[in-house]
Amino acid sequence: MRTSRKGSVEMPAFMRQLVKETEKRVSSFFKGGRGGAAEVEQPRDGEREEVIPSPYLDRPVLDKLTEEGCARWGLTYALGSMQGWRANMEDFHNCVPQLGGELADWSFFAVFDGHAGSNVAQYCSQHLLGQILTTGKGCGMGSEDDPERVKGAMLEGFLQTDKNLHAAARREGWERGGTTVVAALISPYYIYFANCGDSRAMLCRSGQVCFSTEDHKPYSPLEKERIESAGGSVSIQRINGSLAVSRALGDFSYKGAENRTPTQQMVSPEPEVCVVERSPADEFLVLACDGVWDIISNEELCAFIHNRLSVCTDLRDVCSQVIDLCLYKGSLDNISIILLCFPGAPQLSAEALHQEAELEDLLESKVVEIYDELCVRGEEPDLLSVLTILASSDIPGLPPGGGIQSKRNCIISAYYEQRENHRPMLPNGGS
């Protein structure tokens, strides 16, 4: 059984090299150019141009934070998070596999995706669970696993956290900051989901998506109706053309409409709370920020993780592979994921391991073939050329839901091994 362990995973050297080789192209993209630096109009004499800091970096921060642990009733979990292309890391999380006391067989997990700063997300990650438990004590949560009581405690916990946060925000100057939240409270009989914003939870049962939370976006009909009733508007799919979520904790600059309750403001702190009865067929549950869900669908991620669990024993490695997949598919956001595995999760499979080894052997041979062919044609066998050719090739046996992007680390490693083999040797064995 896994024991709690924390640590960080170093970025592979070949990944650093990939970033170095592609930095100029990507940097040009973010600066508005096409293959070169963007042309910038020079300010006239006496005028001073206001420089707006970019929310993106010239190259991503690829180091990952990972964490793993277990609960005594059979749950295992792992967390993976990465800053990525964003200028700052604004994600926080909670992983509490055992709540203690009367709730010793209960677990709580949550992802907080901050915006306009990380302060609100950090505050909520420190206070939300305590507020839910305080509220829950008053309604008998634990002594009786009553879904309506627990749902009420979670709802009130969110609203009270937002109320307390308001005082802290005025004191600390956090009015512009906010955070989405997706949380799962797991009891012996039920899984309670609370979602506020566009982070998302997904439950996989018997290899299929059994349940997922709904994103709260300004253009959704009911959300848009509330926003407009509170005096706001929705343009370019954002509140007042600015905020891309319609429910969040914080964001008090959108919560000032007079004669309206907190849940009737342009941005509502009210979570959508759902309850799902547990089943022996439950396999795994995913909580993740929109840096994941903007890139991959529920069904794709369910299929990918289901496949990865048959070849990986370390859940942290599975989380890392999901993060890399989202990065390679184009995610420009912070990326955070919590993976919870129930006793019914897929187990290591000898057949799946054999298929994985065959796939990697095939990819390595393809890299050698492409590299040699480019050399014969007198073309530079750079990494991007190899990746482009492979992406247009028919490769059988790729992980479902992941495709060629999910094997890029294998491809990159094979490429640099091939390049090393082609390096000219100097006299006396030097290189």
* pLDDT for 248 beyond 60: yes
- Using 50, 70 and 90 to split pLDDT, how confident is the model at 425? low
Q: Whole-angstrom Cα distance, residue 329 to residue 244?
A: 21
Task: Kindly tell me the burial class for residue 105, based on how many C-beta atoms sit within 10 Å of its own C-beta (0-12, 13-18, 19 or more).
Answer: middle
Q: Which secondary structure element, helix H or strand E, spans residue 208, and what is its range? A: strand 208-212
pLDDT of residue 141: 76
Confidence of residue 1 (pLDDT cuts 50, 70, 90): very low
287-320 pLDDT tens trace: 999 999 999 999 999 999 999 999 999 999 999 9
Region 385-398: mean pLDDT is 94
Tokens 């309506």 sit on residue = 148
Average pLDDT over residues 149-161: 96
Spell out the domain ranges in the chain.
Answer: 57-341, 350-422
In percent, the amount of the chain with pLDDT more than 70 equals 85
Six token digits for residue 36: 């070169």
Length of the chain counted residue by residue: 431
**DSSP tag of 268:** B
| 420 membership: H or E segment, kind and range | helix 408-421
Q: Please give the pLDDT value at position 428.
A: 59
pLDDT band at 143 (very low <50, low <70, confident <90, very high): low
Angle between helices 298-309 and 315-328 (to 10 degrees): 140
Instruction: Tell me: pLDDT of 49 over 80.
Output: no
Q: b vs e for 388-418, b when ≥16 Cβ sit within 10 Å of the residue's Cβ? A: ebbeeeeeeebbebbbbbbbbbbbbbbbbeb
- Identify the CA nearest to 120 among candidates 201, 198, 57, 181: 181
Q: What share of the chain is helix, strand, coil (3-state, %, to 5)?
A: 40, 25, 35
The per-residue pLDDT for 100 is 86
What mean pLDDT, rounded, does the chain reach?
A: 88
- The predicted pLDDT at position 46 comes to 52
What confidence tier does 4 reach under pLDDT thresholds 50, 70, 90? very low
Residue 39 binned pLDDT confidence (cut-offs 50, 70, 90): very low
Q: Which of 35-39, 97-101, 177-181 has the lowest mean pLDDT?
A: 35-39
- Please give the Cα distance from 299 to 313 (Å, whole number): 22
Mean pLDDT of 37-44: 43
User: What digits encode the pLDDT tens for the residues 20-36?
Assistant: 444 444 333 333 333 33
Which token pair is 239? 């509140």
- Count the Cβ atoms, other than its own, within 10 Å of residue 376: 9
Secondary structure letter of residue 298 according to DSSP: H
For 57-341, CATH gives 3.60.40.10
CATH code for 350-422? Answer: 1.10.10.430
Cβ-proximal residues to 357 (8 Å cutoff; 6+ apart), any chain: none
In sign, the C-alpha dihedral spanning 288, 294, 295, 298 is positive
- Phi-psi sector, 388: left (phi>0), alpha (psi -120 to 50), beta: alpha
pLDDT tens for residues 99-133? Answer: 988 899 999 999 999 999 999 999 999 999 999 99
Mean pLDDT of 312-331: 97
